[in-house]
Structure 1
Amino acid sequence: MHANTDTLWINARLATCDAANPAPYGALDGHALWLRNGHIHAVLPQAAALAAFAAQGQIIDAHGAWLTPGLIDCHTHLVYGGNRAAEWEKRLTGVPYQQIAAEGGGIMATVRATRRLDEDELALASLPRLKALMREGVTTVEIKSGYGLTLADELKQLRAAQRLAATLPVEVATTLLAAHALPPEFSADADGYIDHVCAVILPAAAQEGLAEAVDVFCEGVGFSPAQTRRVFDAARAHGLPVKGHVEQLSNLHGAALVAEFGGLSADHIEYLDDGGIAALAASGTVAVLLPGAYYFLRETQKPPVEKLRAAGVAMAVSTDLNPGTSPFASIRLALNQACVLFGLTPEEALLGATRHAAQALGRGATHGRLAAGCVADLLVWQIEHPAEIVYGLGTNPLKQRVFRGVVQHLE
């Protein structure tokens, strides 16, 4: 089957995840999904669709399976070298993180491992992680830099991410996270490094078209709000939207800063306060929940889900896939954790990896919904109810993965 061939999916139950449909999950029964040229051409009552479709393409019988939009993992650090399993083992035996970092562990261990790999090696090392996400139904994934922290190595990470997209049937959104940590070359000179990010790294990434957004780790162990603002100003000057790792370990009012710049998303947000919630609601910035890091670090401060819900802030859910604090290449695990640990409903969790995740990547108009005009990224699930996608782990109810209208083989 080719994407430029009309295809009609029939006898399916649709979880459209479309806000225009007030039913739970945006569910539709008795409707057919008409695909054309890699996009959804129409969602129609099945009898009307069959009459209009006639014999102009392929008809696929879903035999009562549920169809959902493709899943979107909107916050990952998927491209990196090495792993930190030995460091994690030390932490579990009581060795403090400060000691591990002083001995060469922590994020700088990943930076060294990432710098050692060339672009080919980096893409190859990252491939299994991306394939694991795809097996669970991910069709769009965001990949950040942030483990290079030099001009050459940050751009190398972004190029490796783009290479993955050229290799596999998946869409990759690249984000520049050069302001992730202070590299050893700028030891004790955070302002000097931010100067370098704003004047050298960010302009180069923008000029090469390697990043479609800019992120900053705004935190006591990262960069200050003033330094974050400088990076955001530089991003704006180059026409790039912003997002932020904010309020994960403390409240520096980073979310309000992201909202001030009309940012795409504020991520982590465990320490988000009422003012930050109001700012996100006013700007339309998405709150991205990352329960994997909360779980893996054994944190106790939960994001204010009930208040976000009450304020009407869209909540996305993502894996935060990274070697240090969330080494999980499983979007379904993240969705389950969001329900069990943070109190989301299964419907909210699924919307968090479809419609709201699309918004967090600036793709709300074209991704994350089964609706006319959206890309034809969809999943076929052998389930009785959409909650099953979030409910049970260890088995995979995904029957087929469709990317741009073309059915993909699950590896």
Structure 2
Amino acid sequence: MSDLGIIEEGAVIIQDGIIKDVGKSSEILKDFNTEGFKVIDAKDKAVLPGFVDSHTHFVFGGYRPDEFAWRLRGDSYMDIMNRGGGIANSVKATRNATKQSLVVLGLKRLDSMMAFGVTTVEGKSGYGLDRDTEIKQLEVMKKLGDKHPMDIVSTFLGAHAIPPEFKGKEDEFIDHIIDMLPEVAEKKLADFCDIFCEKNVFSLDQSKRLLLRAKELGMGAKIHADEIVQLGGAELAAEVGAVSADHLLQASDQGIKDMAEKGVVATLLPGTAFSLKESYARGRYMIDQGCAVALATDFNPGSCFSESIPLIFALATLYMNLSTEEAITALTINGAAAINRAQSIGSIDKGKLGDLIILEFPSYRFIPYHVGVNTVETVIKKGKIVLSEKK
């Protein structure tokens, strides 16, 4: 994760949205005819792969500022959730929201993400907890993918919380979510299935049953694991062959070892730990144990209402002990691996999509150094400039 493969005085050639060549300018441009190409002069600027935000919940209705104030006075996430706040609060608003209103909000949020250099984003459902709203969220993401330059990878998170109508009937609710899977798979509404595996939410057995059924239907498995208590979610992720396990604040040594051995990406969300005033996941330890670590924003209306990539860089480097190079890797190629897209995005390699960002500074090291400030000047998606702040 520390080797970025830096090319000094480099050039990238993109044709029909695909990277055709990359290397030293003096070599690949020596006999190259630029006629018909748009030439961008990035002298004294750093060029990186577009960022991949591999864990978000960006399609939702309503907001929860009051809950943030409650946390400031000492109320815990689970305390708020147990008295009807948290996810349940967003469920009510999202159920009442029209599809068109969610599309409008989604476009605005995607624009903001793209300004931070994100060219591919994962979005989860999970604010419906019923068939109609979960399908509505997934259909909104599909529509947004057609309308916006950014690529959207959808995840079905119907098992995000237990709705009031199923309190005390958690197994019955899991059956209800499992019954939705064939429709989601048949309509190709989601690439992945996810579940909030946590004490007082969904058990290891319930999580395993849902994820194995999703895999039978051709969906990849993801899991919200070991966020609040050490339940064994990391071990389960390795057992079921999940693509990623996310959060992992309380993941055990054994769970981390199992994930490393099975190639499960550890997607860490320091913005959420920061917002909840919790301890950070052991990113340094995970990397040292051979885990592929990704970073993501967890943009959502409750525990982390932020799409700020500079914030994630600051937290990862200052408080999780990742080097700047490791943080770059975690937000590019490892983020791509966390959504099964590493073969097509996440690095500047021949044959991959021409997804690039240009910084206003000469080095990637300015990203965490210029603390909390966006340093992205230009965003290129599939070879087209989709955002430019250049004066």
For this structure pair, what is the TM-score category when the shorter chain's length is used for normalisation?
Answer: over 0.9
CA distance in 1, matches of 2:246, 2:116: 22
Q: What SS does structure 1 have at the residue aligned with 2:28?
A: helix
Matched-pair contact (CA < 8 Å) for 1:349–1:390: no
Q: Is 1:278 matched with 2:253?
A: no
Matched-pair contact (CA < 8 Å) for 2:117–2:357: yes
Q: Is 1:245 matched with 2:236?
A: no
Change (3 A) 1:389 1:155: same
Determine the structure 2 residue equivalent to 1:63.
Answer: 43
Paired letter, 1:284: G
User: Could you tell me how far 1:104 is from its partner in structure 2?
Assistant: 3.9
Determine the structure 1 residue equivalent to 2:345.
Answer: 367
Q: Within 5 A, what are the aligned runs for 1:6-405?
A: 24-58=3-37, 59-94=39-74, 100-101=80-81, 104-199=84-179, 201-300=180-279, 302-393=280-371, 395-405=373-383
Determine the structure 1 residue equivalent to 2:387.
Answer: 409
Percent of matched pairs sharing the same residue: 37
CA distance in 2, matches of 1:312, 1:102: 37
Matched-pair contact (CA < 8 Å) for 2:297–2:309: yes
CA distance in 1, matches of 2:36, 2:388: 24
Residues 192-246 of structure 1, C-alpha deviations (whole Å, 9 max, x = no match): 00001112x1111111110001111110032000000111111111011101100
Matched-pair contact (CA < 8 Å) for 2:208–2:240: no
Q: What SS does structure 2 have at the residue aligned with 1:148?
A: coil
CA distance in 1, matches of 2:262, 2:163: 33
Matched-pair contact (CA < 8 Å) for 2:56–2:123: yes
Change (3 A) 1:45 1:387: closer
CA distance in 2, matches of 1:342, 1:135: 25
CA distance in 2, matches of 1:291, 1:98: 18
Paired letter, 1:70: G
CA distance in 1, matches of 2:158, 2:59: 14
Unmatched tracts of structure 2, length 5 or more? none
User: Could you tell me how far 1:181 is from its partner in structure 2?
Assistant: 0.3
CA distance in 1, matches of 2:219, 2:232: 21
Give the count of matched residue pairs. 388
CA distance in 2, matches of 1:277, 1:96: 26
Residues 230-271 of structure 1, C-alpha deviations (whole Å, 9 max, x = no match): 111111110111011001111121112111222111111111
Q: What SS does structure 2 have at the residue aligned with 1:139?
A: strand
Q: What SS does structure 2 have at the residue aligned with 1:252?
A: coil
CA distance in 2, matches of 1:92, 1:46: 52
Q: What SS does structure 1 have at the residue aligned with 2:14?
A: strand
Q: What SS does structure 1 have at the residue aligned with 2:294?
A: strand
User: Could you tell me how far 1:94 is from its partner in structure 2?
Assistant: 4.4
Matched-pair contact (CA < 8 Å) for 1:77–1:322: yes
Change (3 A) 1:405 1:98: closer
Determine the structure 2 residue equivalent to 1:14.
Answer: none
Matched-pair contact (CA < 8 Å) for 1:350–1:390: no
CA distance in 1, matches of 2:387, 2:130: 38
- Normalising by structure 2, report the TM-score: 0.95
Matched-pair contact (CA < 8 Å) for 2:44–2:361: no
Change (3 A) 1:128 1:223: same
Residues 144-200 of structure 1, C-alpha deviations (whole Å, 9 max, x = no match): 00000001100111111122222211000000011110112212100000001112x
Matched-pair contact (CA < 8 Å) for 1:130–1:329: no
Q: What SS does structure 2 have at the residue aligned with 1:409?
A: strand
Runs of 4+ aligned residues of structure 1 deviating over 6 Å after TM superposition are none
Residues 124-156 of structure 1, C-alpha deviations (whole Å, 9 max, x = no match): 123322221110100000000000000110011
Q: What SS does structure 1 have at the residue aligned with 2:213?
A: helix
Change (3 A) 1:394 1:252: closer
Paired letter, 1:66: A
Q: What SS does structure 2 have at the residue aligned with 1:154?
A: helix
Q: What SS does structure 2 have at the residue aligned with 1:32?
A: strand
Unmatched tracts of structure 1, length 5 or more? 1-18
Paired letter, 2:132: A
Change (3 A) 1:396 1:265: same
**CA RMSD of the aligned region, Å?**
1.8
CA distance in 2, matches of 1:91, 1:336: 22
Residues 292-315 of structure 1, C-alpha deviations (whole Å, 9 max, x = no match): 111111113x32223312222111
Paired letter, 2:376: L
Q: What SS does structure 2 have at the residue aligned with 1:230?
A: helix
CA distance in 2, matches of 1:55, 1:91: 56
